[in-house]
Copies of this chain bind each other. A is one copy, B any other.
Amino acid sequence: MQTVKPRLHSDQYATGILSGDRVMLGQAITLIESNLENDKVLSAELLEKLMPHTGNSLRLGITGAPGVGKSTFIEAFGKYVTDQGKKIAVLTIDPSSQITKGSILGDKTRMEELSKNPMAFIRPTASGNILGGVSNKTREVLLLCEASGYSVIIIETVGVGQTEVNVKHMVDFFLLLMLAGAGDELQGIKKGIMEMTDAMVITKADGDNMDHATRAQAEYQHALHLFPASASGWQPRVITASSLTGKGIDAVWKMIIEYQNLTTTSGFLKQNRSAQQVAWLNEYFDQLLKSDFHRLQNFQSTLKNMERDVAEQKLSAYAAAQILLKALYENLKSVIG
Contacts and interface: CB of A to CB of B under 8 A. Distances in A.
B325 A285 contact: yes
Nearest to A336: B329
A314 interface: yes
A321 B285 contact: yes
Contacts of A317: 139, 277-278, 280-281, 283-284
A94 interface: no
A263 B64 CA distance: 29
A326 B188 CA distance: 41
A196 interface: yes
A183 B221 CA distance: 13
B191 A311 contact: no
Contacts of A280: 310, 317-318
Interface string A293-326: 0000000000000110011111111111110110
A143 interface: yes
Interface stretch (A18-26, A44-52, A98-106, A115-123): A44-52
A79 B140 CA distance: 56
B194 A227 contact: yes
B322 A288 contact: yes
Copies of this polypeptide in the complex: 2
The 4 A-B residue pairs with the shortest CB-CB distance, nearest first, are A284-B321, A280-B317, A223-B223, A281-B317
Given A190-B228, A278-B307, A337-B337, 15 more contacts: A43-B318, A44-B318, A48-B315, A48-B319, A51-B315, A55-B313, A140-B316, A182-B225, A186-B226, A222-B222, A222-B223, A223-B223, A274-B311, A274-B312, A281-B321
Given A186-B227, A225-B183, A281-B307, A51 B313 contact: yes
A17 interface: no
A314 B51 contact: yes
B281 A48 contact: no
A288 B321 CA distance: 8
Contacts of A316: 44, 47-48, 51, 140, 143
Interface string A45-65: 001100100110000000000
A258 interface: no
Nearest to A337: B337
Contacts of A329: 335-336
A140 B321 CA distance: 13
A182 to B, nearest CB: 7
Contacts of A332: 332, 336
Interface string A206-236: 0000000000000110110111111100000
Given A316-B44, A317-B139, A317-B277, A228 B187 contact: yes
Given A47-B318, A48-B316, A183 B310 contact: no
A222 B196 CA distance: 19
